[in-house]
Amino acid sequence: MSSQQRNIIVKAIDSLQGRTFGNEVRDQGQPDHSLNRKLWIGAGIITICTLILAAVLLARSYDDFTTARFNLHEISDYGDLLEAANRISAERGPTNSVLGEEPAAVSPARQRLARFRAASDEALARLTDHPGPAAPEHVPQAMIELVRRQLLNARAEVDRISRQPLASRDVVDLQRVIEAMFDAVDRLQPAIRWKIARLVARDARLASPVITGQMLGDLREYGGRIASQIMAPIAARRPLALNNLIAYSETRGRLIELWQLVGRQDHTIADDRRLADLWRQTELQFFGDGLAMLEDVVREGRGAGHYTMTPAELTNRFVPTLQPLEDLRRAFLDLTIARVAADRERALHTLGAAIALALAILVILAGLLVSAQRFVFRPLLQARDMVIALADNRRVARPTAGTGSKEMSRLFDAIGSLDGRLRERAVLMEQLKLLADTDALTGLLNRGALERIGETDTPYQGLARDICLILMDVDHFKAINDRHGHLVGDQVLTEVATLVRASLRQGDLVARFGGEEIAILVPEKDINAALALAGRIRQDLAQHVFVLDGGTRLQVTASFGVACGSRGGEHWRSLIEAADAALYQAKSAGRDRVQGALSSLVRPPPPALTHTAREARR
């Protein structure tokens, strides 16, 4: 094949490849209006609309659930607050007993006081003992610390006075310490109001139960306070002072008013059997027996102050009448918590039903979309993708799943037939390209392929931009052709090509440069390495014996020109000129030599590289 024919084939192949690549670029540059995209855009719009409707439903259900969950948590905390107030209030009972007896290291009243103090401390600790960092829904610790500090101060006064002899205890001191215990409960009221405000702000439906719970807690507080307000004169064995009588009367009036308000405020008590029973017990035991007992004590205090009961005896008889009040408050809060918990469960079930409904709608929608895609759109889209892949010179495979109707099967059969023909065409093109790039005699790359590699500066099979070029020319090749004939010359060139190929390293590239010239591209800009490689090839060739037909032995030498430079455009031309000039110098110096280009040498080549073949055989 002539050089002109090779150039025509190469240009034709490049033209075909360039046309295909250009089509790919134009196709990729256009906006994607594919059927698949339109399908999924439409499906996405429908899905988004469905999700919006589902989100509205779910948001309402989830808000109801979170509100119910919040209410349950807050009501429980609210109950803890009322319980803490009740514990502190209950602590006044054994306190009054201790204040009305002689000092003693151990006594039943003091032991009872220690237990009640521990219960108060535990109730306060629950208000601040929250896992993790403090959250906004918890009562601020500063409020609880004020209560705890006031309670500790009041206890200290109780302990101080209780260590004094009973006869020397002043009624003013006793009244002051009792009022200090009152203040401990009063310091807890801001926290209770803070919690009520949060509950009502989040859910106004809780206003009635939480206010009723507060009033029931106040009933227990003032029920215990009314006895404590007359306890100081009893402990001192003195008549009731005017301020004690006024405080007693005010508290009694407040108790009756609160009791009437609770009865009118909330119908839950009348509707629940257990609460109704506790309501009747409270009326009988506290408002009946308890207040009547205090009225008897007050009558005794209005006279000379000769009381029939000691503070401990009064406490032991009066405190049990307060128990129905405590039970009523606890039962009411338990019922409220149970109802809020039921609301949370209903909200949770509603939320679950809403989620299930939304999922069912989405599943049905997805099923419709999947069916449409599987039986209508997918075969068409697969056929489209296969045609595009064939246009882009990519391999295609017939879908393994069902392709729908017979018409679609015939379409895929036609695409498969087209794919086979395109594969045959690709094989023929590869063969043509190989034929165009390969020297037919030596099997090496030809000059045209070498020029294309050198003209571009993009990486090629490990070759970077900076390379070394070795030009090799068989010495006296014309004489071999003239003496032994062109067939022998072809044999020599073939064996030389085989020998050179065997001497190369991985990454080196060899091509027939023209006639008896061979070019070697070394993928590194190291003139000494390239000179060493050329020297080895020269020695291997000088030591090689060519055996011709008929047994004639022939030895052949070659000259080498080595230069280093770069690939691409003018750099490549300069590199060829430098290597060719070095080759000319090697020829002029007597042949069978390796000569480096002066512009590439960084130090003189080793002497061994310029030895003649005769010296190598020596």
Same domain assignment for residues 289 and 425: no
Domain assignment present for residue 532? The answer is yes
List the beta strands (DSSP E) in 492-608: 509-514, 517-522, 545-547, 553-555, 558-566, 594-596
Question: Pairing state of beta strands 594-596 and 558-566?
Answer: parallel
Question: Pairing state of beta strands 558-566 and 553-555?
Answer: unpaired
Q: How many domains does the chain have?
A: 3
Same domain assignment for residues 456 and 545: yes
In three-state secondary structure terms, 572 is helix
Domain assignment present for residue 356? The answer is no
Same domain assignment for residues 489 and 340: no
pLDDT for 1 equals 52
Same domain assignment for residues 405 and 525: no
- Residue 321: Cβ within 10 Å count: 23
Domain assignment present for residue 574? The answer is yes
Q: List Cβ<8 Å contacts ≥24 apart for 474-477.
A: 474/516, 474/517, 474/556, 474/557, 474/558, 475/556, 475/557, 475/558, 475/559, 475/587, 475/591, 475/592, 476/591, 477/515, 477/516
Same domain assignment for residues 485 and 551: yes
Same domain assignment for residues 237 and 290: yes
- Give how far Cα 519 sits from Cα of 430, 535, 575, Å: 24, 14, 12
- Give how far Cα 504 sits from Cα of 56, 139, 545, 567, Å: 75, 85, 20, 20
pLDDT for 21 equals 41
Same domain assignment for residues 548 and 581: yes
Same domain assignment for residues 163 and 196: yes
Domain assignment present for residue 303? The answer is yes
Domain assignment present for residue 61? The answer is no
- Which string of DSSP letters, residue by residue, matches 288-307? IIIHHHHHHHHHHHHTT---
| Eight-state DSSP code of residue 599 | T
Strand ranges across the sheet with 558-566: 509-514, 517-522, 466-474, 558-566, 594-596
Question: Pairing state of beta strands 558-566 and 466-474?
Answer: antiparallel
- Residue 388: Cβ within 10 Å count: 14
Same domain assignment for residues 429 and 501: no
pLDDT for 608 equals 40
Same domain assignment for residues 217 and 111: yes
Residue 112, CB-side half-sphere exposure with 13 Å CA sphere: 17
Q: Which residues of the chain fall below pLDDT 70?
A: 1-36, 130-137, 265-266, 376, 400-405, 426, 430-431, 433-434, 599-618
pLDDT for 614 equals 33
Measured at the CA of 269, the angle between CA 266 and CA 270, to 5 degrees, comes to 100
Same domain assignment for residues 177 and 323: yes
Rounded distance between C-alpha atoms, residue 393 and residue 387, angstroms: 10
Q: Which of 380, 407, 437 is the last residue of a domain?
A: 437
- Residue 598: Cβ within 10 Å count: 11
Range of the domain at 415: 1-27+392-437
Q: Which of 322, 347, 372 is the last residue of a domain?
A: 347
pLDDT for 132 equals 46
Domain assignment present for residue 48? The answer is no
- Give me the CATH number covering residue 521: 3.30.70.270
Three-state secondary structure readout of 134-155: CCCCCCCHHHHHHHHHHHHHHH
In three-state secondary structure terms, 514 is strand
Residue with tokens 């949060």: 198
The continuous run of DSSP H or E covering 252 comes out as helix 242-265
pLDDT for 155 equals 92
Same domain assignment for residues 92 and 171: yes
Domain assignment present for residue 160? The answer is yes
Buried b (16+ CB within 10 A) or exposed e, 507-525: ebbbbbbeebbbbbbbbbb
Q: What is the token pair recorded at 244?
A: 């004690």
- pLDDT 10s digits, 244-299: 899 999 999 999 999 988 877 667 777 788 888 999 999 999 999 999 999 999 99
Domain assignment present for residue 353? The answer is no
Q: Which of 382, 405, 437 is the last residue of a domain?
A: 437
